[in-house]
Structure 1
Amino acid sequence: MLRRASFRPRHGFTTIESLIAAVVFLVGLAGLLGALVQARGATGQARRLMQATDVANDLAEQIQLWNFDDPRLAANAVLCANDPLDKDRKLHKPGTGDYNAYVACMHGELMLRLGGASFGGLQRPAFRDEDKVESRGETVYQRFYIVRTETVRDGVQRMQVWVKVLYLDAGEPRVVTTQTMRVQMGGV
């Protein structure tokens, strides 16, 4: 009599099972790489925002050291003094008349060095981008500030200063604003 060969299960994977596992792995890997690219972009945005905040705070700290009657702290024109927070987002519209008028009424880089007075903070507000993309090179930050002075009562003056930093992030204008206040009592 002929004996039948006993059926033994094979151990391991077939070619089809291996291909399906590879496709599932690659789909998962593609999703992970997409998330990593998005996270890297978000990290770059956060770094530029942090640098812009540092530039704004640097100027605000320097302004605190200037004398109350320093010519660099002359009050701004009404357009800026009445809208120091740029509620209409004029700085986000470069090349328009609103943008040009708003920038013209703020104090800027030239005002920082008025009359030979030294500026002890950042001399050039620019930071090299870390992503090594040559086309980007560095992010340059433009600093502006708005001064509004008012008499609170006899012998007391309050000065509010809004520091604005404008920069481009992915081709879009971004603005960081910080505020500082000074009070002078007596001898006004």
Structure 2
Amino acid sequence: MLRRAPFRPRHGFTTIESLIASVVFLVGLAGLLGALVQARGATGQARRLMQATDVANDLAEQIQLWDFNDSRLAANDALCADDPLDKGDKLLHPGTGDYNAYLACMHGELMLRLGGAQFGGLQRAAFKDEDKVEGRNETVYQRYYIVRTQEVREGVKRMQVWVKVLYMDAGEPRVVTTQTMRIQMGGV
């Protein structure tokens, strides 16, 4: 009669246990990758917003250097001057009549030159996105500004300037607005 060896438990994992562990690991990894992709998109969106703010501040700083009576600082039409913050979101609807009218009443982008050389500011308001490949995935910023001048009291004028930067983010139009103010005292 043959004697059987006593049953000894094997150490290690069975095939089923290994497959279940692999599936659990892959589900967790898929969730992590999804979170990473979402974080990268949010980082890109934040970067474009920061760049738009920098582009707006650049023009606002240039405007501060202009003479108070400079022709470039002529007051805008009532459509823009009465609603410089675009509370009706006209600029978020490209191609519509309201968008075109609002765009037409703003002062456009200026490339300043002094003695033939670039005078401050940006030569081109465009930045490469995450992949940094020339000519691909580039965000282009358009700058405009609105001027409103008010007589505060005799001999004192206040000039408010709103700089607007338009750009596309994930196929949607975005607008960044910054404001600067100037005061002129005396009849200069």
Query: TM-score w.r.t. structure 1 length?
Result: 0.92
Counterpart of 1:89 in structure 2 is 89
Aligned residues: 187
| Structure 1 runs of 4+ with >2 Å offset | 1-7, 116-119, 130-137
- Residues 1-188 of structure 1 aligned to structure 2 (within 5 Å): 4-110=4-110, 113=112, 119-132=119-132, 136-188=136-188
Q: CA shift at 1:113, angstroms?
A: 4.5
Q: CA shift at 1:123, angstroms?
A: 2.0
What runs of 5+ residues in structure 1 fail to find an aligned partner? none
Q: How many Å separate the matches in 2 of 1:5 and 1:134?
A: 72
Asked if the contact 2:107–2:145 (Cα under 8 Å) also holds between the matched residues in 1, the reply is yes
Higher helix share: 1
Q: CA shift at 1:5, angstroms?
A: 2.5
Q: CA shift at 1:120, angstroms?
A: 1.8
Query: TM-score w.r.t. structure 2 length?
Result: 0.92
Q: How many Å separate the matches in 2 of 1:26 and 1:136?
A: 33
Q: How many Å separate the matches in 2 of 1:4 and 1:13?
A: 24
What runs of 5+ residues in structure 2 fail to find an aligned partner? none
Q: CA RMSD in A?
A: 2.2
Say which SS state the counterpart of residue 44 (structure 1) adopts.
Answer: helix
Q: CA shift at 1:137, angstroms?
A: 2.8
Q: Which amino acid aligns with 1:67?
A: D
